[in-house]
Structure 1
């Protein structure tokens, strides 16, 4: 950019400078003599930007907006504190809303699972010969699937693998264990049937009792078998065991644990 042009008796000088928006400012002193153009750098001054760094963090920007005006002057500390309080309340409200939504989603899934358990009980219970180990196992699996899969505690492949181990127990070497597992599954199916028949004005209480019965039965079966179940289902069973031991609600789904054994 041409900024000035002046003449002297000895030489003609032209002074150039770059725009102030460029990263640096370089001044040139050019001498015109005998039609020869000889540019010479006479000064080099770094350009210091006054704009905010591009990599400034979000928290820093928010803090600047809260405590300082656009012109850089300080805001009232009382007003800044009010803005901070409003922002904190908004964040906490958002977190609480997310937790409520998650709880509602889990409740809806559990209710959907219980409706499926009711259907299984209504359609299949009277057709099962509970003296037969295979039929009892298959019916118990039908009860467990809604509880485990629909409620999103586990997946279908893990549940299928678990009950495959239950069905394939060796009669010769595990007769006592097999009898104990058979008795557990049969008793649980009968208790679930009675609870579903007695649902009255407070179905949620019955659903909670059914959930507790199924959880305890699955833990007992897995412990008696001492099998290395699929990692995902083993994690779920470990969650149930921790809940029974502590009396507290189970942690979030999907957390990894060691195999039961």
Structure 2
């Protein structure tokens, strides 16, 4: 993805999991990465790794459920490098499996605030910055559960379906104005979040994944970098499943 060299990319939830891997992959491609996340120590470690390898990165503590934090992260990229070319809106979380009537109110509120509202807030400020400098590309992290349902996760499925709808609508808003908006929809991916909700059971989803394995963060990063690059210049409003075939069934 040589055309990413020198591009300025914002990544939320960049301290661990898919976000961390995407930050490192973007830096290897020559991008300058503005990383947002709630855990400063983790974010700082990613920045150090990028800089040690000769790349450029900054970190800003960011809670994407707060519009002011989202605006400040975009402004950090602008203040540091003068423009914004791309974004991977990755920040998200999942709580415990439960039927709707047994799901804690706090779990519903937190997941909708971070997974869905956070994407909307980030797109708002990213799009404004990109319009000022001629366009860009936005990739949102939805989920296989933005394409299909799963029992005991209604609150999470609702948020991820919302990201799918927001992605498609925003793609129409900006299609003629130089901003492409797409989403990746990962299946089960080996991340700290996956380990927490599954008890580190790498085979929990084997029977439901046609490839009979979980994915790795690098497999999601490859899709994200393609969607951010000029190689996908005629792609907007797309939902790219990175799920081992789960959505095909």
TM-score, length basis structure 2: 0.21
RCO (CA 8 Å, sep 6+): is it higher in 1 or 2?
A: 2
Give the TM-score taking structure 1 as reference length.
0.21
Structure showing greater Rg: 1
